[in-house]
Amino acid sequence: MSRKSAYKQVLSIGTAVVLGFALFTGSLDEAPKLLSPQSDEQAAALAEKQNESPSRTDDEADLVARLESGTASSSDSQNSQDSGDGSESTATNTNGNVASADSAATPIDEVENPDLNRARGVYLSSVPDYAGNPYVALRADSTHPLGTPSFTLDEYERATEEGCFKKFSKLDSLGRTRKALACVGPESLGQGERGDISRIHPAGWHQQRYDFIPGQSLYNRCHLIAWSLCGENANRKNLLTGTRYLNETGMLPFEEQILDYIRDTGNHVLYRVTPMYNEEELVCRGVRLEAQSVEDHGKTLCFHAYCYNLQPHVQIDYATGRNQASGD
């Protein structure tokens, strides 16, 4: 029996046990079956958990240190360095055409599944206000200080059975980028040089330049799933309007953690990125990053973090994307 076949057999047995227990207890219903259920107390005490100092693995401690210091290197990742001064646009597709609210667009109220949000405890209102760190861990505990992801059994089984895959949601009726789910591994990593994406203007793209920002440009075309991880580049469904701070200080260290893990082990990571919008605002307030190593069920790599889409010393109108220096 091959290693993959044996692994699938073990996973199938484990799944059967979980489902059997759910049937016995009467808990098998229409709600998503989560790998790591969250208690109401965890969601309510999220801000308090940020003050805890639980024990950390070496990898987690290293990532936390880089995130909090803002010293992560950008040389190994090409998440979305393009920050050209493209013309202002509410939303355009890869051909530069304005996106319309047609049959392919998703209504605003369908952007997120309320039941799944409730189960995962990820309402935007539950995220603490920015307090100087580029990220905050969601559903953190002493075992996973960087947070616990909320993948369903179906999502996890797909990763174990299919290996690498990627799924990008349709733009909503406002032309906004929605969530992306992928299983990334050695087979999916970007190869060669990343191409030009300057023709794409995500929702809320109102570029401005400030002398106090490295590279001067406020906005980057941020990939949800980094090009370095999945090879997707000029895909409008994979790009959003994000600040330099979100891209370089918030998302990049997590992406590097995944990339380093894949290169070191040859294994796979289940990864989801979800923009979080406030009602009908065109620019997201932040993004949720969830990741879990597949072969060892998250033992080596596991995080669930919210990264803030802001820029120190810049005031952003999230409804439109327009911005100005804050003067603070």
pLDDT of residue 216: 96
Residue type, 256: E
What is d(CA 58, CA 51) in angstroms, rounded to the nearest whole number? 20
- If asked whether residues 82 and 12 sit together in one domain, one would say no
Q: Structural domain tally of the chain? A: 2
- If asked whether residues 204 and 291 sit together in one domain, one would say yes
Residues 6+ positions from 244 with CB-CB distance below 8 Å: 83, 213, 214, 215, 217, 218, 219, 220, 311
- If asked whether residues 22 and 135 sit together in one domain, one would say no
pLDDT of residue 192: 81
Burial of 212 (0-12, 13-18, 19+ CB in 10 A): exposed
- If asked whether residues 191 and 286 sit together in one domain, one would say yes
66 versus 320: the higher-pLDDT residue is 320
82 versus 253: the higher-pLDDT residue is 253
Residue type, 184: V
Across the range 315-324, mean pLDDT stands at: 98
The CATH number of residue 235's host domain is 3.40.570.10
Range of lowest pLDDT (31-40, 248-257, 264-273): 31-40
What are the pLDDT digits (tens) for 137-196? 999 998 889 999 999 999 999 999 999 999 999 999 999 999 999 999 999 998 888 888
What are the pLDDT digits (tens) for 11-59? 455 544 443 443 333 333 333 333 333 334 433 444 443 344 334 455 5
- If asked whether residues 18 and 50 sit together in one domain, one would say no
pLDDT of residue 3: 46
pLDDT of residue 47: 41
- If asked whether residues 209 and 79 sit together in one domain, one would say yes
- If asked whether residues 163 and 279 sit together in one domain, one would say yes
3-state SS, 240-282, equals EEEEHHHHHHHHHHHHHHHHHHHHHHCCCEEEEEEEECCCCCC
- If asked whether residues 206 and 275 sit together in one domain, one would say yes
How crowded is residue 277: how many other Cβ atoms within 10 Å of its Cβ?
25
- If asked whether residues 311 and 239 sit together in one domain, one would say yes
- If asked whether residues 8 and 140 sit together in one domain, one would say no
The mean predicted confidence, pLDDT, of the chain is: 75
**pTM, 2 dp:** 0.70
- If asked whether residues 91 and 2 sit together in one domain, one would say no
pLDDT of residue 104: 43
Q: Which domain range does residue 14 map to?
A: 1-30
- If asked whether residues 94 and 78 sit together in one domain, one would say yes
